Amino acid sequence: MASLLRMPEVAANSTDAILAAWTKKEGDAVALGDCIAEIETDKAVVEVNADAAGVMGRWLVQAGQRVEVGAPIGVLLANGETAAAMESLLASAGGSGSASAVAGAAAAAAPTPQPSSAVANPAAAPAPASKRVFASPLAKRLAAQRGLDIATIAGSGPKGRVVKVDIERADAQIAAGAVTAAVTGVVEKPAALPTQGQSAYTETPHSGMRRTIARRLSESKSTIPHFYLSVDCRMERLLALRAEVNSASPRKISVNDFIVRAVAVALREVPEANVGWTEDGMRHYQQADIAVAVSTPSGLITPIVRQADRKSLSQISEEIAELATRARAGQLRPDEYQGGSFSVSNLGMYGVREFSAIINPPQAAILAVGASQQLPVVEGTELKVGTVMRCTLSVDHRAIDGALAAQWLAALQRAMESPLSMLI
């Protein structure tokens, strides 16, 4: 029989989410387990799969709308059912005999974010009315990466939805225009300069993910009493071991893989530091679940390597690579980035020597890792050149005292400087 499709709770304790896209059109056949829609959470895009076979009867919510958890978003007809069954279902659900009441209840959450718009001088003229843009999550990501205003691109998908091919076509047209200008010397007239005292700018509405990052970091920095400890790790032995491993292994192990393993070993050695702070009590974690910071087009996300203290270096390497790839594609499940007992943020690949990271509550610490550099070091009475990497530990003083933090950092240094010990 006909059934209502409802907005699922795709993340723990979530009250609403954005219906990013429908993957089944009205009238399409639906098999058990088929992806029928994509839901955008604060951190990722999650697929919604059909729990029964049938036919997509009607969309009650358009793509791009924010919908409360549990609210109806569509109607799934059983095979062979007619539109009359759908109207009967909607009448009983909405109490008005039409889909409008049900659809209105579904869209009761916050208004949909509007597309970005260029603003040269906001005081000069009133802004034009905003227009909702229907686009696939992939198209949105490609447009953001290539600096395209998706509101100006005509969509070729269902009901004018902007899809990947539209972004690629628009990008190619812009590139062709640039080549023509270079050959002919004819260029478009530049935009008018802003009036005195007003700089030109573009404004992009905050994504749900960016708002969540901003809120959590503000809360962390303003409510957690951070303190910081740094240690310099000699890297010669680790880099030599890594080169030897990579010469014989089909999978190339990164320095970051060694760091995650060393963090897990140090937490196993000093379990008192593997804790989290809550208002009700101290959480003592039973395993080292390491959250690894990954930069994505939408913002920072921390997929988690579970039980890193019980996994080999090659297992950790493979898992980090797979999680990072899906994180950048927005395909992580909530359980893959929620939780964790400790975080690692590594900016060494960008040449950053040292920095301090902000704690991700309820965790009580995060390790910030800089680049390995050739620096003068003293060995005995001799001055030599050594390869040094600086690690800075940010600590929640409510959960971890200074002496304990120093003890854990010493354990990390030993693991980094004696890399064979962390592989046992």
pLDDT in tens, 146-157: 778 888 888 877
Domain 227-422 has CATH 3.30.559.10: yes
Q: In 284-401, which residue ranges form alpha helices assigned H by DSSP?
A: 313-328
In the three-class reduction of DSSP (H, G, I as helix; E, B as strand; rest coil), residue 387 is classed as: strand
Per-residue pLDDT of the chain (424 residues; tens, 9 = 90+): 788 888 888 766 677 888 888 988 888 889 988 888 888 776 677 888 888 888 888 898 888 888 888 889 998 988 888 777 777 777 776 543 344 445 454 444 444 444 443 333 333 334 444 456 778 777 787 788 777 888 888 887 766 778 777 787 777 666 554 433 333 334 444 444 455 566 788 888 877 778 878 888 899 999 999 999 999 999 999 999 999 999 988 889 999 999 999 999 999 999 999 999 999 999 999 999 999 999 888 788 999 999 999 999 999 999 999 999 998 888 888 889 888 999 999 999 999 999 999 999 999 999 999 999 999 999 888 999 999 999 999 999 999 999 999 999 999 999 999 999 988 7
Q: What are the distances in angstroms from CA 12 to CA 55, 248, 415?
A: 30, 43, 36
The secondary element (H helix, E strand) that includes residue 3 is: strand 3-6
Q: Which residue has the tokens 């080292």?
A: 288
φ, ψ at 216 (rounded to 5°): -70, -40
Q: Measured in Å, how far apart are the chain's first and last C-alpha atoms?
A: 59
Domain at 3-106, CATH class: mainly beta
Helix, strand, coil percent content, the chain, rounded in steps of 5: 35, 25, 40
In the three-class reduction of DSSP (H, G, I as helix; E, B as strand; rest coil), residue 209 is classed as: helix
Cβ 385 vs Cβ 376: under 8 Å: yes
Cβ 390 vs Cβ 351: under 8 Å: no
Burial of residue 56, with CB atoms counted within 10 A of its CB: 0-12 exposed, 13-18 middle, 19 or more buried = buried
Question: For residue 5, how far is the Cα from the chain centroid?
Answer: 27
- Residue 401 gets the label, from left (phi > 0), alpha (psi -120 to 50) or beta, of beta
Q: Using the 8-state DSSP alphabet, how is residue 274 labeled?
A: S
Cβ 252 vs Cβ 313: under 8 Å: no
Q: What are the distances in angstroms from CA 391 to CA 90, 346, 365, 416?
A: 60, 9, 13, 11
Structure tokens at 257: 């893989």
For 282-288, the CB contacts below 8 A with 24+ separation are 282/399, 283/362, 285/341, 287/341, 288/263, 288/264, 288/341, 288/342
**Model pLDDT, residue 353:** 95
To the nearest 10 degrees (0 to 180), the angle between helices 236-248 and 402-417 is 50
User: In 394-409, which positions are buried (b, 16+ CB within 10 angstroms) versus exposed (e)?
Assistant: bbbeebbeeeebebbb
Structure tokens at 413: 């240094």
**Residue 124 β-bridge partners:** none
Nearest to 342 by CA among 360, 369, 316: 360
Cβ 146 vs Cβ 75: under 8 Å: no
Cβ 71 vs Cβ 108: under 8 Å: yes
In the three-class reduction of DSSP (H, G, I as helix; E, B as strand; rest coil), residue 397 is classed as: coil
**Model pLDDT, residue 158:** 67
In the three-class reduction of DSSP (H, G, I as helix; E, B as strand; rest coil), residue 412 is classed as: helix
Catalytic residue positions?
397
Domain residue ranges in the chain: 3-106, 227-422
**Model pLDDT, residue 120:** 36
Nearest to 297 by CA among 150, 141, 64, 136: 141
User: In 240-257, which positions are buried (b, 16+ CB within 10 angstroms) versus exposed (e)?
Assistant: ebbeebeeeeeeebbbbb
